[in-house]
C-alpha cells in the first residue's frame, strides 16, 4: 500500500500520548537537539512533461532548539529530502533533487507534550531556491534521562508548490 508508512506515522502521532511518561525530578535544561526520520509527500510531480499523482520522499533531519521557558522555544530545523522529482509552476518545469529545507521556528508547548510550531525558511536546491513557511505540530514524550521521542507533522507552504511531512524525532535535552 502506497500510503502505509504515512498512515503508520499518523497513527504514532495519535497513539503515543497514551504511553507518555512524565519524568519528575529531571534537571532543567536549555537546549534540545533532535534527529528526525520521516516521509515528505509532494502532491503533484511532473515526469516527462506529464503530471503524476504524488511522490513520497525519505527525509532525514537535525533540529536545534533553545528553551526560553516551559511554553516557548526557538529553533533551527535542517531537513534533507532524499529524492529526485520535478514540479510545475506557472507552466515551468522545476526539477528538484535532494533539497535541503531550513527554517527558523518558534515553538509553543500547548499542553503537556503537545507543541505547535511555525516559522520562515528556505528550501535550498541546485536548480532553484524556494522560500517557505513551515507550520506543524508534535507530541514529545519523555523516555527518561532527558531523552524524548516525538512523532511530528509539518506542512511547508511555498508559492511554487506545497508539501507535508510525517516523521519521528529522537531528542536529547542538555
Q: The cell 512524565 sits on which residue?
A: 22
Q: According to the model, what pLDDT value does residue 89 have? A: 81
Query: Whole-model pTM?
Result: 0.80
In total, how many domains does the chain have?
1
Q: Which domain holds residue 89?
A: 4-21+28-173
Residues, the chain: 174
β-pair partners for 152: 138, 167
Report how far residue 12's alpha carbon sits from residue 9's, in angstroms, rounded to the nearest whole number.
5
* pLDDT per residue as tens digits for the range 29-39: 999 999 999 99
* pLDDT per residue as tens digits for the range 91-132: 788 899 999 999 999 999 999 899 999 999 999 999 999 999
Please state, as a whole number, how many other Cβ atoms lie within 10 Å of the Cβ of residue 141: 18
Those residues with Cβ within 8 angstroms of residue 134's Cβ, 6 or more apart along the chain or in another chain: 77, 101, 103, 105, 117, 118, 119, 120, 121, 154, 155, 156, 157
Domain of residue 125, CATH code: 2.40.160.20
Amino acid at each position: 500500500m502506497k500510503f502505509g508508512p504515512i498512515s503508520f506515522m499518523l497513527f504514532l502521532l495519535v497513539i503515543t500520548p497514551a504511553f507518555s511518561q512524565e519524568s519528575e525530578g529531571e534537571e532543567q535544561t536549555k537546549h534540545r537537539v533532535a534527529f528526525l526520520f520521516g516521509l515528505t509527500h509532494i502532491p503533484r510531480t511532473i515526469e516527462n512533461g506529464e503530471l503524476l499523482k504524488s511522490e513520497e520522499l525519505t527525509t532525514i533531519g537535525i533540529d536545534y532548539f533553545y528553551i526560553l521557558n516551559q511554553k516557548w522555544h526557538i529553533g533551527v530545523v535542517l531537513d534533507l529530502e532524499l529524492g529526485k522529482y520535478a514540479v510545475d509552476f506557472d507552466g515551468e518545469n522545476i526539477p528538484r533533487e535532494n533539497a535541503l529545507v531550513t527554517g527558523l521556528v518558534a515553538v509553543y508547548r500547548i499542553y503537556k507534550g503537545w507543541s505547535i510550531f511555525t516559522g520562515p525558511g528556505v528550501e535550498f536546491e541546485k536548480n532553484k531556491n524556494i522560500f517557505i513557511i513551515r507550520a506543524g505540530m508534535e507530541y514529545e514524550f519523555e523516555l527518561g534521562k532527558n531523552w524524548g521521542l516525538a512523532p511530528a507533522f509539518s506542512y511547508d507552504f511555498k508559492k511554487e508548490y506545497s508539501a507535508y511531512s510525517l516523521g519521528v524525532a529522537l531528542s536529547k535535552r542538555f
